[in-house]
Chain A
Amino acid sequence: MNKLTKFRFASVILISDIFVLFCLKGNISAITAGGFLSGILIQAIISVPFALWIKKGKSIENCGNFVKIIFMIYFLLWATAIFSMFWDTSEVIYIPSQNSGIFGKISVLSAIGLVCAYMTSAGMKTLLRSSVIVAGMGAVCILIVMTSALLKSDFENIKIIRSEKFPNEFARGLILSGNLGSFAVLLGNAKGNAVTNSLIYFSAKIIITFIILMTAVLLSGGIMEITDFPVVMSAQLSQPFPSQRIDSLFLMIFSIFGVFSIALQTCLARYLFKSLKRGS
Chain B
Amino acid sequence: MHNYNVPIIKNLSENIKKIKEISGGSSDVLINEFVTGSIKCALLCCEGMVSTALMCELVFEPIVNIPAKKDSHELFNHIEKYMLMSSDRPKADNYETLFRLLNSGFAVLIADNINYALAFGIQGYASRSIQESSGESNIMGSHEGFVEIIRTNMSLVRRRLKTPELVMEIFQKGEKSSTDLCLCYMKDRVPKKLISDIKNSLGKIKLESVLSTGYIKPFVERNKFELFNSAGTTERPDVFCSKLIEGRVGIFIDGVPFAITVPKLFCESFQTLDDYAFKPYYSTFIRWIKYMAFLTAILLPAVYSAIVTYHPELLNSTMLMLLVEAEKNAPLSITTETVFVLLMYEIIREAGLRFPKTVGGAVSIVSGLIIGDAAVKSGFVSTPLLTVSALAVMSGFVIPELNQQITLLRFAFLISGAVFGLFGISLLGCAVLTNICATENYGFPFTAPVSPFSGSGMGDTAVRSDIKKMQDRNFTVEEYHE
B window 308-328: CB within 8 A of A: 309-311, 313-318
User: Which residues of chain B are near A95, meaning CB under 8 Å?
Assistant: 420-421, 423
Question: Given A3-B482, A130-B437, are A248 and B307 neighbors across the interface (CB < 8 Å)?
Answer: yes
Nearest CB on A from B462, distance (A): 11
Q: What 1/0 flags go to B412-445 for Cβ under 8 Å of A?
A: 0000000111111111111101111110000001
B447 sits at the interface (CB 8 A): yes
A178 sits at the interface (CB 8 A): no
Question: Given A126-B437, A129-B445, A130-B451, are A248 and B422 neighbors across the interface (CB < 8 Å)?
Answer: yes
A108 sits at the interface (CB 8 A): yes
User: Which residues of chain A are near B427, meaning CB under 8 Å?
Assistant: 111-112, 115, 255, 259
User: Which residues of chain B are near A130, meaning CB under 8 Å?
Assistant: 433-434, 436-437, 451
B278 sits at the interface (CB 8 A): no
The answer to whether A96 and B421 touch across the interface, beta carbons within 8 angstroms, is: yes
- The one of B311, B317, B445 in contact with A243, judged by C-beta atoms closer than 8 angstroms, is B317
Name the segment of A21-29, A50-58, A75-83, A116-124 touching the other chain: A116-124
Nearest CB on B from A247, distance (A): 7
Q: Which 8 A-B pairs have the closest CB atoms?
A: A243-B316, A255-B426, A129-B437, A132-B451, A130-B437, A126-B438, A96-B421, A252-B426
The answer to whether B424 and A94 touch across the interface, beta carbons within 8 angstroms, is: no
Majority secondary structure of chain A interface residues (helix, strand, loop or mixed): helix
Nearest CB on A from B396, distance (A): 22
The answer to whether A255 and B423 touch across the interface, beta carbons within 8 angstroms, is: yes
User: Which residues of chain B are near A252, meaning CB under 8 Å?
Assistant: 422, 425-426, 429
The answer to whether A251 and B437 touch across the interface, beta carbons within 8 angstroms, is: no
The answer to whether A96 and B450 touch across the interface, beta carbons within 8 angstroms, is: no
Q: What 1/0 flags go to B462-482 for Cβ under 8 Å of A?
A: 000000000000000000001
Select the residue from B317, B425, B452 with max chain A CB neighbours within 10 A: B452
The answer to whether A245 and B313 touch across the interface, beta carbons within 8 angstroms, is: yes
The answer to whether B451 and A256 touch across the interface, beta carbons within 8 angstroms, is: no
Q: How far apart are the CA atoms of A134 and B451 in the complex, in Å?
A: 10
- A97-B420, A130-B433, A243-B317 known; 15 new pairs, CB 8 Å cut-off, are A5-B452, A95-B421, A111-B427, A119-B434, A122-B438, A126-B434, A129-B437, A130-B437, A133-B451, A244-B314, A244-B315, A252-B429, A253-B426, A255-B422, A256-B426
Nearest CB on B from A145, distance (A): 15
User: Which residues of chain B are near A119, meaning CB under 8 Å?
Assistant: 430-431, 434
Residue of chain A at shortest CB distance from B317: A243
What is the interface of chain B, defined by CB distance below 8 A to chain A?
Answer: 307, 309-311, 313-318, 419-431, 433-438, 445, 447, 450-453, 482
Select the residue from B318, B425, B436, B438 with max chain A CB neighbours within 10 A: B438
The answer to whether B419 and A107 touch across the interface, beta carbons within 8 angstroms, is: yes
Q: How far apart are the CA atoms of A90 and B437 in the complex, in Å?
A: 27
The number of A-B residue pairs with CB atoms under 8 Å apart is 108
Nearest CB on A from B453, distance (A): 6
Q: How far apart are the CA atoms of A90 and B421 in the complex, in Å?
A: 13
Q: How far apart are the CA atoms of A96 and B427 in the complex, in Å?
A: 13
Nearest CB on B from A20, distance (A): 18
The answer to whether B451 and A94 touch across the interface, beta carbons within 8 angstroms, is: no
Q: How far apart are the CA atoms of A5 and B482 in the complex, in Å?
A: 12
Q: How far apart are the CA atoms of A90 and B424 in the complex, in Å?
A: 13
User: Which residues of chain A are near B425, meaning CB under 8 Å?
Assistant: 252
Question: Given A96-B423, A111-B427, A259-B427, are A3 and B314 neighbors across the interface (CB < 8 Å)?
Answer: no
Nearest CB on A from B399, distance (A): 18
- The one of B431, B450, B451 in contact with A118, judged by C-beta atoms closer than 8 angstroms, is B431
- The one of B313, B435, B436, B438 in contact with A123, judged by C-beta atoms closer than 8 angstroms, is B438
Q: How far apart are the CA atoms of A26 and B105 in the complex, in Å?
A: 82
User: Which residues of chain B are near A90, meaning CB under 8 Å?
Assistant: 423
The answer to whether A133 and B433 touch across the interface, beta carbons within 8 angstroms, is: yes
The answer to whether B419 and A97 touch across the interface, beta carbons within 8 angstroms, is: yes
Q: How far apart are the CA atoms of A131 and B450 in the complex, in Å?
A: 11
The answer to whether A256 and B430 touch across the interface, beta carbons within 8 angstroms, is: yes
A window 195-237: CB within 8 A of B: none
A-B contact pairs, 17 of them (CB 8 A): A5-B453, A96-B423, A97-B420, A108-B423, A111-B424, A118-B434, A122-B437, A126-B438, A127-B437, A129-B451, A130-B436, A132-B450, A133-B451, A244-B315, A247-B314, A251-B426, A254-B426
Nearest CB on A from B394, distance (A): 24
The answer to whether B419 and A256 touch across the interface, beta carbons within 8 angstroms, is: no
Q: How far apart are the CA atoms of A255 and B430 in the complex, in Å?
A: 9
A87 sits at the interface (CB 8 A): no
A7 sits at the interface (CB 8 A): yes
Nearest CB on A from B376, distance (A): 27
Nearest CB on A from B304, distance (A): 12
- The one of A5, A108, A253 in contact with B420, judged by C-beta atoms closer than 8 angstroms, is A108
Q: How far apart are the CA atoms of A196 and B275 in the complex, in Å?
A: 40
User: Which residues of chain B are near A118, meaning CB under 8 Å?
Assistant: 431, 434
A260 sits at the interface (CB 8 A): yes
User: Which residues of chain A are near B307, meaning CB under 8 Å?
Assistant: 248
